[in-house]
């Protein structure tokens, strides 16, 4: 028997059974319920409709910070987080990356003796390693599904989808979005993002945002959240829409009553598909941030991270083909902590 095969068998023999891992980590997994209001004009006047969407999430810090998917909460008018056993609490979005499809929530209250999941090191993942997910597929809360790492994907095209992805055959369906994927140690190594399917159900082509992206974007290098969902638009995509720009940040959504909404930044209202990705068009296209061109994304991030509450973000925008300026005051943050590599603070 080869040494490699012996090590593989040893790994399987020493890995904790899934039933034990489930009991250990399930209390950290939450169901995220999102309420959204829409208004339509009818013959009898304006009509308001309220829709409820269910996603999943995971508590990664004892101060009440929950990670979920951006597409679950980006248009929310109200967010409520549910724990096993019936405890529930309202939550606010404190950081969000539309491009990476991850968001950070701060809950208003925690259950007695909350369980905090450990954010693992996704760089250690290899094809064939065992993973399992816990979430609420089609509203069936705290369902466990299992599989393996199928591949590790790198996307060189900025803006339309996450830069790094873990491909897995762990079944992920509607309602799993934003939920955690765990490794054999019970560490969170990814957040469920999307699947490829012609039937609408999981066919084994599922994609997860790596935990290292979560740690970097939502904690270690968190940007001030002003209430927008942005997507980076590179030059080749801008050319498709005849936008005469090198690059820009497309404002897809603006949440009501946020700093961005009060300043007049505009989101889109027309859905389109670009390269297999759904993009919401019609909103402002940000060309520069405090004088830094949008194409210089690293410098833009550095500028934003250096801002303090009360300072201004000056956006040069393209709106309906015309240039303009929108200034937004940085709101007071909620003290997003930094997480050490490979571990969550408790």
CB 250 within 8 A of CB 233: yes
Phi/psi of residue 220, nearest 5 degrees = -65, -35
Long-range pairs for 287-292 at CB < 8 Å and ≥24 separation? 287/245, 287/248, 287/316, 287/317, 287/318, 287/323, 288/315, 288/316, 289/249, 289/313, 289/314, 289/315, 290/314
What does the radius of gyration of the chain's CA atoms come to, in whole angstroms?
A: 21
Phi/psi of residue 159, nearest 5 degrees = 105, -45
Q: Would you name the residues annotated as active-site residues?
A: 71, 101, 177
CB 92 within 8 A of CB 334: yes
Q: Give bridge partners of residue 44 from the DSSP assignment.
A: none
Nearest to residue 286, comparing CAs of 276, 300, 272, 298? 300
Using DSSP bridges, classify how beta strands 180-182 and 277-281 pair: parallel, antiparallel or unpaired. unpaired
3-class DSSP state of 163:
coil
């Amino acid at each position: 028997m080869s040494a490699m095969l012996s090590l593989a068998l040893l790994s399987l023999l020493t890995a904790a059974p899934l039933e034990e891992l489930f009991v250990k980590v399930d209390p950290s997994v939450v169901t995220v319920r999102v309420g959204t209001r829409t208004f339509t004009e009818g013959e009898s006047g304006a009509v308001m409709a309220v829709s409820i969407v269910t996603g999943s999430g995971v508590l990664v810090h004892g101060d009440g910070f929950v990670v979920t998917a951006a597409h679950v909460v980006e248009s929310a008018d109200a967010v409520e987080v549910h724990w096993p056993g019936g405890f529930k609490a309202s939550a606010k979005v404190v950081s969000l990356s539309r491009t990476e499809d991850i968001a950070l929530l701060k809950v208003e209250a925690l259950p007695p003796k909350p369980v905090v999941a450990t954010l693992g090191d996704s760089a250690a993942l290899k094809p064939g390693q065992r993973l399992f997910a816990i979430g609420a597929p089609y509203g069936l809360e705290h369902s466990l599904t299992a599989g393996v790492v199928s591949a590790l994907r790198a996307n060189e095209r900025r803006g339309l989808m996450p830069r790094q992805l873990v491909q897995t055959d762990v079944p992920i369906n509607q309602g799993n979005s934003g939920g955690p994927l765990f490794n054999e140690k019970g560490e969170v190594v990814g957040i469920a993002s999307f699947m490829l399917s012609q039937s609408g159900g999981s066919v084994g082509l599922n994609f997860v945002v790596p935990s290292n992206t979560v740690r970097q974007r939502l904690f270690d290098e968190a940007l001030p959240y002003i209430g927008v969902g942005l997507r980076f638009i590179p030059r080749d995509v801008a050319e498709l829409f005849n936008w005469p720009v090198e690059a820009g940040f497309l404002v897809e959504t603006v949440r009501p009553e946020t700093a961005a909404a009060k300043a007049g930044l505009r989101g889109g209202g027309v859905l389109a598909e670009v390269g297999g990705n759904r993009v919401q068009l019609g909103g402002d296209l940000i060309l520069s941030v405090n004088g830094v061109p949008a194409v210089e994304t690293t410098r833009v991030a550095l500028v934003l991270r250096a801002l303090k509450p009360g300072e201004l973000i000056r956006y040069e925008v393209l709106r309906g083909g015309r240039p303009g300026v929108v200034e937004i005051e940085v709101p007071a943050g909620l003290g997003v902590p930094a997480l050490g590599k490979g571990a969550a603070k408790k």
